[in-house]
Structure 1
Amino acid sequence: MSDEERRDSLADQAAAWVPPWDRPRPPAAEDTPDTTDVSTTAPLPVESTPLPEESAKAPLPAQGDLGGKVPLQGPESSKISAESGADVSGSGVGESGGAGGVPRREVVGRRRATAAPEPAPELPDAELRGALEAILLVVDEPVSELVLAQVLEQPAERVGPMLDEIAAGYTAAGHGFELRRAAGGWRLYTRPEYATYVERFVLDGQSVRLTQAALETLAVVAYKQPVTRSRISAIRGVNCDGVIRTLVTRGLVEECGTEQDSGAFLYRTTTLFLEKLGLNTVDELPPLAPFLPDDVEELADATR
């Protein structure tokens, strides 16, 4: 075919071509409603025209010439991906499994490089002793060895013997205070031989003290605990409901369940009671025998 005939054929085809929006729509089936959007209807296929030999031999345009919108396919795309290291899958993760093309081994190595925090070094004995003394001076209640060990980040095996050593040192030096174990912990207390001077200083001008009835009730609870209010009243010979409420309000006595037979509330002393008396447990209370009168049996018979 000559060039003139080819131009005439292309001109005829161009003259006979009809735009897609001017073409008649195919009739829809009777049993299926037509829901096709005109704006999204694909154009009808156009009869292809064989390319001339020159256009058939022309090389395909590069991917950059098409604006990156038409991905390459076939072996050429695999070759380009292998040379450039690009991820053609679109997932953003290369074959190595790392995020952003980072090899997985490198990511795992970074995670393993974070070592565990090293334990705190052991304090010298002099520094540990000073730290314990400083804390014991500011506490308002007995503090246990475990709490001290956690605060100082030292093993409890060192804190306990050091507290014993500090207490022995205060006693040997004859200080007016001592380090004593009380209510399950450690606290500084004044020595009993200086109690009169401390009492004179603390109680001078103060009237907030326990009454005689409160002291007697507290003693009954301390030696008979757990005990009910009716039992306390029977021992003292008077009603003690108001006194019990006062002791509970001051935190010296607390409820500890109910009696199995009667269902009455049981009362016991608190850790504040042990702290105020400087005792570790109620077993350290002094025996009552030296304080009982000689004619206690006669008094008991008289009350019956």
Structure 2
Amino acid sequence: MNDEERRDSLADQAAAWVPPWDRPRPPAPTEAAPADTGSDLGTEAPLEGPERTKIGAPADAAPADAAPADAAPAGEGEAAGVPERAPRPRRRATVVPEPAPQLDDAELRGALEAILLVVDEPVSELVLAQVLEQPAERVGPVLDEIAAGYTAAGHGFELRRAAGGWRLYTRPEYATYVERFVLDGQSVRLTQAALETLAVVAYRQPVTRSRVSAIRGVNCDGVIRTLVSRGLIEECGTESDSGAFLYRTTTMFLEKLGLNSVDDLPPLAPFLPDDVEELADATR
């Protein structure tokens, strides 16, 4: 083949050569396909303009800025061989606790009675509702029904509200028999001095020891220690001016007297003498 025929053959090959970026995209195989190494002569129309390969270049040579044969155009889906996006980690499912079963009226009444039989101090409606896992607004009316039922049936005990809670108590008309059984010859009564001191603390609380002694006119240190040991009064801070300890009544005091709060104490005016103001002025 002479030089002229060789140039015509190379020109024909260059005219029939199609760059990889203009070739039809094959379907993405499951495995990476080998790159094209040959030429597709006679399958596509020749390029025109500045993108046409110069005469004399090899038929299978690509321009310097050409993309590889197996590269896909940017922005046209996922190219072959590109790893898929990693799956997102699964979120742990939130465990929602099942609601507590709703007790019927008979079962709720029996559960309340069982608890009230073993408590050693008044228990509030909120605590009972939390223990039984029932609404607090449902527990209160049931307690009222139980108390009314005991009273109507004439039992020797009753359900009363005292010290901010509920507890079973013996009825006052049977106090003589209960006292005889509990005391059994032992005397646990408070002395007159202890009762007077306890009354001063109850009506003037919080009050200091010196103030109680001034009201009674005698030293009350020993009596106050006795009342503290009996659990009827307790310390509740100090006075800002003198730093002396302040005393107040306890929950046991309310429980023993059957009161719900100190606001239920009887008024003191009917028990005071007529000349109480003159006596108060004389002690100043």
TM-score range, shorter chain: 0.5 to 0.7
| 1:53-64 map, 5 Å | none
* More RCO (CA 8 Å, sep 6+): 2
Whether 2:183 is the aligned partner of 1:203: answer: yes
Can you list the C-alpha shifts for 1:90-147, whole angstroms capped at 9, x where unaligned?
Answer: xxxx9775xxxxx657x44xx33x6412101210101100100010000001111111
> Which of residues 164, 181, 186 in structure 2 aligns to 1:184?
164
1:276 is matched with 256
CA 1:261–1:301 in 2, change beyond 3 Å: closer, same or farther?
Answer: closer
SS of 1:189's equivalent in the other structure is strand
Can you list the C-alpha shifts for 1:237-263, whole angstroms capped at 9, x where unaligned?
Answer: 110011111111222111122223332
> Which of residues 129, 144, 149 in structure 2 aligns to 1:164?
144
> Which of residues 234, 246, 249 in structure 2 aligns to 1:266?
246
1:88 is matched with none
Distance 1:291 1:186 in 2: 30
Distance 2:100 2:230 in 1: 41
Task: Answer with 166-175 or 236-245: which moved more.
Answer: 166-175
* Identity across the alignment (%): 89
Give the AA of the match of 2:203: Y
| 1:1-304 map, 5 Å | 107-108=90-91, 111-112=92-93, 115-293=95-273
- Quote the offset at 1:197 in angstroms: 2.3
> Could you say what the CA RMSD is over the residues aligned between the two structures, in angstroms?
2.7
SS of 1:163's equivalent in the other structure is helix
Normalised by the length of structure 2, the TM-score is 0.64
- Quote the offset at 1:75 in angstroms: 6.0
- Quote the offset at 1:207 in angstroms: 3.1
Question: More helix by proportion, 1 or 2?
Answer: 1
Distance 2:172 2:270 in 1: 19
Distance 1:295 1:194 in 2: 39
Can you list the C-alpha shifts for 1:159-199, whole angstroms capped at 9, x where unaligned?
Answer: 11111111111122222211111111111111222222222
Distance 1:179 1:264 in 2: 40
Give the AA of the match of 1:154: Q
Can you list the C-alpha shifts for 1:199-226, whole angstroms capped at 9, x where unaligned?
Answer: 2222222234322211211111011111
Task: Answer with 140-149 or 187-196: which moved more.
Answer: 187-196
Can you list the C-alpha shifts for 1:19-74, whole angstroms capped at 9, x where unaligned?
Answer: xxxxxxxxxxxxxxxxxxxxxxxxxxxxxxxxxxxxxxxxxxxxxxxxxxxxxxx9
SS of 2:234's equivalent in the other structure is strand
Distance 1:296 1:141 in 2: 38
Give the AA of the match of 1:172: A
Divergent runs of 4+, >4 A: 94-97, 293-304
SS of 1:181's equivalent in the other structure is strand
Normalised by the length of structure 1, the TM-score is 0.60
Unmatched segments (≥5 aa) in structure 2: 1-30, 34-82
Give the AA of the match of 2:268: L
Q: State the aligned residue count.
A: 205
